[in-house]
Amino acid sequence: MIIHQAEIETKGDAIVVSARVEIKTSTSIPKYLWYKFPAESESAISLRGEAFFNNLFVLGMHFNEEIELRGDISPVFVENIKKLSSIYYRNDEKKLNIVDYKFKSVVSPDVTLKRDIHLASFSGGADSFYTFWSHFYKEKASHPTNLTHGLFIHGYDISLNNEETYNHYLSKYKKLFDQWGLGLIPVSTNAYEFYQFRTPWYYSNTLALAGISMALGNRVATYSQPGDVDQGNRNRLRPSSNIHLFSTESTKFSSHAHVIDRSKKLSKMLDWSPVQKHLRVCLDANYDQTNHGCQKCEKCINTNLILYLFDKQNEFSYFDMDITIFKFIRLCWEVSNLSAYRPKGYLSYLKKKNRTDLILIYWMMIPVNKLKQFISSELISRIPKKFLYTIKRKVYKNRNISDDGSP
């Protein structure tokens, strides 16, 4: 794999930073990885190689190709690359490989630049709301933060094809951040197109956040990733807990509150007006914004369940779902490891609400869930990667907007 020197281009009222990508073993990869920012972000734009290497090194591990970077890269980060690669490899030795790296220019970033942006990504979900709640309520937060900007990404939890939904929430969130006295930086990227159908979503999400932050590296001093603890599988890779390894001499990365469960985060914010009005959790990247979520995925159902257990559904916009037996069965089915999942901690609340029906279903679904885990880990994992990718691409809706990866 070759990651070429980044280039910058003005397109209307936007700035596009891109790098050409060459891969020997695949013809279905976009030719360019790009980030599109509003023109007012130009002073923050950096053309250093970290913005693209951060995003793509796991892809090289997936295809078992040596990675050559033809841009500048930090010596501090170079020291951490082997450790990062090892973490990903140990998590999934069947899909990833240890590969070699070739760097054209190992050089420190200019530390004399004024870096005044303290950034955290914002999706409207519980984790990101908690990170900003911790900025405003430092005395209540177990992990207080100091932030100046949020980062709202188009191309991950909202697909690039779904512009209407992204623009709808961008308008709402800009008003919210104006009220907070903070900046909101919108960015579009095709980063997910490199990993879609190849690796799990959570593999590449942290990589993209680290890459985008470094694309703004001329002004970003710190980036805090709203972290999450995965109760459903504690042995699973947790990229957010390792994001500090992306730090350079000039930009520091950290994970915020990744040890706190989402239900506990929500419980602290139940009476906070912004989260009541604007909470958004859906996993469906193509849902219609007028419905405010699919109300079918794990996150939609689980969030409704949390609010139901705390008697707060009526105080939150768009979270009035009835917690039926069918919905709870669906939740138990979607969870990766039900026996370790959050509802186990909810059982006492379900008892108080006399929902013995849901408690019974929970225990009945555990063996079903274990069978699902076995099929996924032992059977599906044996299918050749190229064949599995082809099947997934035909079965699931494609999010690509162009064949060559151009914005």
Domain boundaries, the chain: 1-270, 281-401
Structure tokens at 28: 């279905």
Q: 33: closest CA among 183, 194, 149, 143?
A: 194
Q: Of 33-42, 58-67, 146-155, 197-206, which gets the smallest average pLDDT?
A: 197-206
CA–CA gap between residue 376 and residue 370 (Å, rounded): 10
- pLDDT tens-digit series, residues 218-228: 999 999 999 87
Q: Which 3-state string (H, E, C) describes 195-264?
A: HCCCCCHHHHHHHHHHHHHHHCCCCEEEEEEECCCCCCCCCCCCHHHHHHHHCCCCCEEEEECCCCCHHH
- Which amino acid is present at 322? D
Q: How many angstroms separate the Cα of 281 from the Cα of each of 132, 160, 189?
A: 16, 18, 20
Q: Of 6-20, 277-291, 357-371, which gets the smallest average pLDDT?
A: 277-291
Q: Considering only residues 289 and 21, tell me which one the structure prediction assigns the higher pLDDT.
A: 21
Residue 401 has pLDDT above 90, yes or no: no
- pLDDT tens-digit series, residues 132-157: 999 999 988 888 999 999 999 999 98
- Which amino acid is present at 166? Y
Dihedral in degrees, nearest 10, Cα atoms 256, 230, 121, 76: 60
Note the pLDDT of residue 346: 83
Query: Do strands 117-121 and 149-154 pair parallel, antiparallel, or not at all (unpaired)?
Result: parallel
CA–CA gap between residue 395 and residue 179 (Å, rounded): 43
CA–CA gap between residue 400 and residue 155 (Å, rounded): 10
- pLDDT tens-digit series, residues 227-277: 876 544 444 566 778 899 999 999 999 999 888 888 889 999 999 999 999
Query: Do strands 32-38 and 7-11 pair parallel, antiparallel, or not at all (unpaired)?
Result: unpaired
CA geometry: angle at 343 spanning 129 and 309, to 5°? 65
Whole-structure pTM value? 0.92
Using only the alpha carbons of the chain, give its radius of gyration.
21
Q: How many CB atoms lie within 10 A of CB 290?
A: 8
Structure tokens at 173: 């969130």
The DSSP-derived string for 7-70 is EEEEETTEEEEEEEEE-SS-SSS-SEEEEEEEGGGGGG----THHHHHHHHHHHHHHT--EEEE
User: 97 by DSSP, 3-state: which?
Assistant: coil
Note the pLDDT of residue 28: 83
Note the pLDDT of residue 322: 93
Note the pLDDT of residue 234: 46
